[in-house]
Amino acid sequence: MGNSCSNNLGIPPAKGPNAVGCSDFMMDHTVEGTFFRLYYPCVASDNAENPDWIPCKGYFYGLADFMKINRGLSEKIFNYLFGSFKIPAALNGSYKQNGKYPVVIFSHGLGAFRTLYSAICTELASQGFIVASVEHRDESASATYFYHQKPQEPEKDEASSPKPNPEPPENLVEEWMYYRSLKPGESEFPLRNKQVKQRADECIKALDTLIQINSGKKMENVLQTEFDWTTLENSMDLCRIAVMGHSFGGATVIEALCKDVNFKCGIALDAWMFPLDEEIYVRVKQPIFFINSEKFQWAGNISRMRKLDSSSTSMQRKMITIKGTVHQSFPDFTFLTGNWIGKILKLKGELDPQVGIDLCNRASLAFLQRHLGLDKDFNQWDHLIEGKDHNLIPGTNVTEIS
Ligand SMILES: CCN(CC)CCN(C[C@]12C[C@](c3ccc(C(F)(F)F)cc3)(C1)C2)C(=O)Cn1c(SCc2ccc(F)cc2)nc(=O)c2c1C=CC2
């Protein structure tokens, strides 16, 4: 584990009965391809290697750009603060065959990327889900990368052109895409609306890829990881698929539910509703669970969520607010700094981050059992869906400006 030995910081290990494996998948290599981190139940092993939380330094550059701080300085800060954190999962751990697992597609927030929600994704995997945390290429991620074909060079002899190490796959060249901030005078809605549609398509594309993997088809993973994807043949229950996301990823949940009825229900963590078209509110039919932090919501955002509530009394629409939490209580950063830095940077609220994420995970599991028809014991947490806990508020604490 990363820095946990020094100051008991680190992403908390998952609580469910399964050990968790984690592996990255990219297909095809272009910007239009699919890219996700897969979390899955794996065979427990004591010599498992844990994957890096921040996979490579391009992501630190991206975070610096997103936070509008100097790249050089921030690379050192981020490296020192977060560079050695590991994810509590076995990198490329052997998949544990045990019937078919339900599937969750996870969508990250503005300025985030696929690895930053591992406390949520590893918990779901430990409880018997296969989770694909997608990395969006809509320029809303702090950073992401893909490959393009190297232009055919005139034959050079080996000596004069030393190969980079590790060699990129085949003759592909890595290319990075960073966060695109609004240009001066640019109106935000058109950009965000276009992005949320692309994000929903990327969630659907990731699901389609999982369906192919589930069929046992030999997949060409551009990232040459030590994981045999054919072991996932017949591993997924394709009647039990949900979509989940944080903030911009919460809006992506609504858009994805609308576009693909294979998503049986959605969980939106502190959803940012701004990017969504007005007409979407009457079109989405599936159950939705809004889990909000105490500090992020405002009347306009809540009233948009309510439109989803009122327009469909029959579909199960639920909302809870976790007291003492902030917007960053959902991504992993909330576990990675001391209390006072965390509070200053608004990465922590008053509530212990572990208690907050446990409430979020347990309420989510209860909601998934109810709407995916699972035969587990997650219904023990049904009261959390109704906001019945001293750290929860049913609905919202935001007073409506009607
Ligand atoms: C100045 C930039 N300005 C851009 C519009 C606002 C920046 N901002 C507040 C921030 C993210 C913050 C952050 C992260 C990480 C550290 C660190 F120090 F720990 F690294 C510190 C401080 C900076 C808190 C947000 O965007 C909030 N937000 C987010 S935050 C998702 C995220 C991003 C990066 C992460 F590493 C982890 C999680 N996702 C959304 O979908 C939406 C919003 C707002 C509306 C929709």
pLDDT at 309 over 90: no
Angle at 194 between CA 249 and CA 274, to 5 degrees: 55
Q: What sign for the dihedral angle of Cα 233, 235, 240, 245? A: negative
Q: Choosing from 118, 247, 293, 364, which is the catalytic residue?
A: 247
Asked whether 9 lines ligand 1 (CB < 6 A), one says no
Could you tell me the pTM of the whole model? 0.94
Position 215 scores a pLDDT of: 97
Position 5 scores a pLDDT of: 41
Lowest mean pLDDT among 42-51, 137-146, 202-211: 42-51
Distance 165 CA to ligand 1 centre (A): 33
Q: Are 345 and 321 in contact (CB under 8 A)?
A: no
Q: Are 101 and 236 in contact (CB under 8 A)?
A: yes
**Average model confidence (pLDDT) for the chain?**
92
Residue nearest to atom 23 of ligand 1 (CA): 67
User: Could you tell me the domains of the chain?
Assistant: 19-150+166-394 (3.40.50.1820)
Higher pLDDT, 117 or 2: 117
Position 338 scores a pLDDT of: 87
Asked whether 330 lines ligand 1 (CB < 6 A), one says no
Position 1 scores a pLDDT of: 39
- Counting from 1 in the atom list of ligand 1, the atom nearest the Cα of 337 is 19
CB contact set of 235 (below 8 Å; sequence gap of 6+) = 40, 95, 97, 100, 101, 130, 214
Distance 346 CA to ligand 1 centre (A): 10
CA distance 396 to 274: 18
Asked whether 342 lines ligand 1 (CB < 6 A), one says no
Position 8 scores a pLDDT of: 65
270 belongs to the catalytic site: yes
pLDDT at 55 over 90: no
- Counting from 1 in the atom list of ligand 1, the atom nearest the Cα of 332 is 37
pLDDT at 117 over 60: yes
Extended beta strands in 141-264, E state: 143-149, 172-178, 236-246
Q: 55 pairs with which residues across the strands?
A: none
End-to-end, the C-alpha distance of the chain in Å comes to 49
- Counting from 1 in the atom list of ligand 1, the atom nearest the Cα of 78 is 20
Q: What is the pLDDT of residues 56-90, one digit of tens each?
A: 889 999 999 999 988 888 888 888 888 889 999 99
Asked whether 347 lines ligand 1 (CB < 6 A), one says yes
- What mean pLDDT comes out for the span 124-136? 98
Residue nearest to atom 32 of ligand 1 (CA): 112
Number of H helices, E strands in the chain: 11, 12
pLDDT at 4 over 90: no
Cis peptide before 166 (omega within 30 of 0): yes
CA distance 193 to 185: 17
Asked whether 111 lines ligand 1 (CB < 6 A), one says yes
